[in-house]
Amino acid sequence: MTPDVTVTVIVHNDAARLPRAVDSVRRQTHAGLEIVISDDHSTDETPSVARELAARDPRIRYHRLPENSGGCSAPRNRAIEVARSPYLMFLDSDDELPERAVELLLAAHREREVDFTMGAVRRIRVDSGHRSTWMPHLVSERRTLDGIAADPRLFFEHLSTSKMYARAFLDRHELRFPEGIHYEDQLFSAQAYCLARAFTIIPDPVYLWYIAPYAAGDSASISNQRHRLTNVRDRVHVQRLIDDFLTASGHGSLREDKDYKFLKHDFRMYAGDLPYRDEEWLRSFADIVNPYLGTLTPGSYDRLPRPERVVVQLVRDGRLPEARLAARGLGHGVAPRQVTTDAAGGGTYWGDRIPSSAGSRRELDVTDLELDTRPFPSAQFRHEITELTRGPGASLELVIRTYDPGLRLPVGPHRASLLLAPGRRRLTLPFRLDPVSPGVFEGRARLDLSAAPVPLHGFAGVRHPLLRVQHQGLAHTGLLLAPLDFPALTARVGYHSGVAPHRVTVEPEGRGPGRLQIRWRPTGVTERVIRPVVRRVARPRVRRVARLVASSLR
């Protein structure tokens, strides 16, 4: 009997997780399917594990490539060749399918003749278990589109694994995964979107994508290997291939949408890492991306938020240390250290000088940030720790500099405070910011970690202190940026009121804006007994009882 759907599970040296992926397919509510395990010439125990899985279920077939291809495309393409079903899906060995994925996507195919169907992807953080939906705004409602032009935002949803394809559609266009390159999903999905006459989107989850954002070395996904310059080259190369396809297929009108996707998604991922790259890497990065950035449509830049346009332009202008500085504020409303106003032209520009070219002036004009006119609670400042030393006990001595490029704060001292909440209660540490120069203030604060209001049942987690500035009865709260290179400081802290000792580590955040980061880890009976009990308890009343028990055990 011919199966309805073929689910291809691609694998390479992943014997430990392969059974989980395959079992998620075996548990599907729609049983009329076949499972093709396509092995990219694994050298670990994967072949024996795959053969054992195939021996258990007649729906499973195992195929091993004669040599390693180094990517996802070849094992997927080989599976397409041997698939017996009219509909095809793809699953990576480190992910899973929800139980109704096949049923729901196949039902959408049978409701209306479309070239592929797609659903929501649930992202699961392997370090924290946190779940979120990938590009939720694109899959929030059920709809059938007559081509990508009906919603070009879908270029952002470039995963091939969230879709079920009609075999006839793939064969009609000879559509296969491009081999020998990385980021093959982006090209394949762009081609599928443009070639499809119609496709249906359903809001139901059809894929469970396990994310290990801090995996190291070869175990990291391609997207998490952004530190490698070959990764940058691969991503740019795929963009050029997509551009060529759009032109050749008559979809050139979609170029601005696709360019915006590159700037907002692909380039933005690298931009967030710029503060952590050295000078040599930054120069090589600029050499790779700048020729391509010069080919993008002007309209795609116009759609970016101003802070992102600033980072892109600083890279294009070769102002790389400044690009690193600007990137620390992305997405967090962090002001530049300094702006320059053109008295003749009226513009206000990022940095210490007026840009020399018209294009740079256009992109670096930060007038629309309204640095000098925003309501004070939403104003933009920049708070940086310029000195950090260990004080007596479990305290830190901080020198904090606040930059106010919009000159919102009058000359003179200002009340400020550090805010820290490892639990439900907050520690507020007041200090004073004194003027250093126009738009620059500095203050000293002592952060005593032993005074933090840690709950009786302990606290295990991470907190980033905030800085609050008060002016004329109003308050502004912003991020506190740390030096990126100070060594982690660790102390064993004993708290008052019977709270068990904790191991507390102070460190730079190591990613994103690079905030001051403090990690707590309970020790003793709190870590071994009390906190596991509290985590298992769901009802608030029982949680309160658990806290009382924890208190009585002190």
User: Is residue 45 within 8 Å of 52, Cβ to Cβ?
Assistant: no
* Domain residue ranges of the chain, discontinuous segments joined by +: 5-217, 226-369, 377-546
Architecture of domain 5-217: Alpha-Beta Complex (3.90)
Q: What is the pLDDT along the chain (554 residues), one digit of tens a residue?
A: 899 999 999 999 999 999 999 999 999 999 999 999 999 999 999 999 999 999 999 999 999 999 999 999 999 999 999 999 999 999 999 999 999 999 999 999 999 999 999 999 999 999 889 999 999 999 999 999 999 999 999 999 999 999 999 999 999 999 999 999 999 999 999 999 999 999 999 999 999 999 987 555 444 455 567 789 999 999 999 999 999 999 999 999 999 999 999 999 999 999 999 999 999 999 999 999 999 999 999 999 999 999 999 999 999 999 999 999 999 989 999 999 999 999 888 899 999 999 999 999 999 999 999 999 999 999 999 999 999 999 998 999 999 999 999 999 999 999 999 999 998 899 999 999 999 999 999 999 999 999 999 888 889 999 999 999 999 999 999 999 999 999 999 999 887 666 678 999 999 999 899 999 999 998 865 555 555 655 556 445 545 554 554 444 44
Closest CA to 517 of 504, 502, 527, 529: 504
pLDDT for position 226: 79
How many alpha carbons lie under 13 Å from residue 517 in its C-beta half-sphere?
18
CATH topology of domain 377-546: Immunoglobulin-like (2.60.40)
Q: Cα dist. 106→111, 145, 157, 279 in Å?
A: 9, 17, 20, 51
- Written as one letter, the residue type at 279 is E
pLDDT in tens, 517-546: 999 998 865 555 555 655 556 445 545 554
Token pair recorded at residue 230? 């070959």
Closest CA to 400 of 454, 441, 458, 359: 441
**CA 73 to mean position of chain CA atoms:** 24
pLDDT for position 552: 46
